[in-house]
Amino acid sequence: MSSNVQNSGRGPVASFLTESLSSDDLEQINDVLAALFVDLRKASQRYKNKDFSDRNATLIALGAASRFLMQFRAALDEQLHLPLMNLSSALIALSNNDVAPILKPTLTAAPKGGRALAAADRQWLVGVAVATVGRLRWTGLRDREAQKVVAATLVRLGITPARGTGQITARTVKEWWRSHQRQPAGDRRRLGRRTRGIGASAIGRCCPS
């Protein structure tokens, strides 16, 4: 149900949505959702153009999410949109070479060799790729063939290397596999449990029956 803000009779009265919506709110929530999806599609279009480094896409998406939350009375009263606005401000400042604390990397111990740990999402991606290679090997594919299948799938999905330019290759996947084999047995078992279902579904996409 919507709630109105009193403004002493001057100018239009702002109407905010509550957490519990009713049929009376249908038109307003549809308008709010329509505006949200328009902006999200604008942001997504930039990624479809393969410009993953364009911060404007992220800013558009963050702005859309913030404006959506601000249509709700609870979000304004409890300032639930502030974390998103804080991230937006930090990204804007980054364009002026001003690195806000929220964007500064967390210092962690680097593995042997001095290379910094990859981002969490990159580690997850590598884990899924390694698990998928393992499952493809169980189907009878040789190591090189399995690595080629996984690399080709990642390229088709638009995944790029963490460093440098070019595309992910079978050699890239091979290095991921070797790195995984050097990990302690306990870590490998945990990775297998986390990616078991994902790896199986990936095989279905790589090798349809």
Sequence spans of domains, the chain: 3-103, 120-206
Helix (H, G, I), strand (E, B) or coil at 11: coil
Instruction: Summarize pLDDT for 121-159 with one digit per residue, the tens.
Output: 677 778 888 888 888 888 888 888 988 998 888 888 777
How far, in Å, CA of 209 to CA of 93, rounded? Answer: 50
- Does the pLDDT at position 182 exceed 70? no
Instruction: Summarize pLDDT for 104-120 with one digit per residue, the tens.
Output: 776 544 444 444 445 66
Q: Judging by DSSP bridges, how do beta strands 3-4 and 15-16 pair with one another?
A: antiparallel
Q: What percent of the chain has pLDDT over 90?
A: 13
Alpha-helical (H) ranges within 53-206 are 55-69, 73-78, 82-94, 120-138, 143-156, 170-181, 185-206
Q: Cβ atoms within 10 A of the Cβ of 43, count? A: 18
Residue 36 Cα distances to 69, 94, 166, 183, 188, angstroms: 10, 25, 34, 44, 41
Helix (H, G, I), strand (E, B) or coil at 100: coil
Instruction: Choose among 5, 23, 1: nearest CA to 77.
Output: 5
How far, in Å, CA of 184 to CA of 192, rounded? Answer: 13
Residue 128 Cα distances to 125, 134, 155, 196, angstroms: 5, 10, 15, 8
Task: Determine phi and psi for 25, rounding to 5 degrees.
Answer: -90, 0
Confidence of residue 41 (pLDDT cuts 50, 70, 90): very high
Task: Determine phi and psi for 97, rounding to 5 degrees.
Answer: 60, 25
